[in-house]
Amino acid sequence: MPPSTKYTPELILEVAEELTREEGIGAITARALASRLGCSTGPISSHFASMEDLVAQLMDRIIARFVQAAGATGHPDPLLGAGIGWLRFAAEEPRLYEALFLRPDTWHAKWGPVRLGLAKAMADHPRYGDLDDAVRFALVGRASIVLHGLGLEIWSGRLRTRDYERLIEELARPVVDAALVEGWSDDLHSAA
């Protein structure tokens, strides 16, 4: 007799991520996951308080993948490097990108720590080291607005280039440069 499968929360989330990657976040239902796992919906409901809880934990996984991609470029400028990683993520993980950015944001509070982490990493770079924490945080927010537009163009297939560094240099760097020169330090995301 073969050993029984352990339907752990980790396994269920791995399958949920795989299903999202293939069919989109809208495909995440208890029945769809149970079908993929080859079980009833019992293990899903025993490990997660609700499907909303499961999706929230799935989004944490997807955000972690996004953060990893944004930090893995090796670019000397942490802000511009994160932008290159962002665009790669849009191209290489379109359904995960869609789950993060192309539906109403019910988990907006999760992005503050992500932005804060990048702003802190920027403190060690000569270009940003003299800026205070709030200004670096606002600069990350301004750059993200530009990156959302570029990411959407890549995700949709309208922008087919894979030269992400060129896109960042020509379209995002000028915004960062202007913000630094002009002293634009207000956080547009937090503005009322």
Three state DSSP letters for 113-179:
HHHHHHHHHHCCCCCCCCCCHHHHHHHHHHHHHHHHHHHHHHHHCCCCCCCHHHHHHHHHHHHHHHH
The series of mean pLDDT values per 10 residues for the chain, 192 residues long, is: 75 98 96 96 95 95 96 95 97 96 80 92 95 94 94 94 93 94 86 54
* pLDDT at residue 40, rounded to an integer: 94
* pLDDT at residue 2, rounded to an integer: 54
* pLDDT at residue 3, rounded to an integer: 53
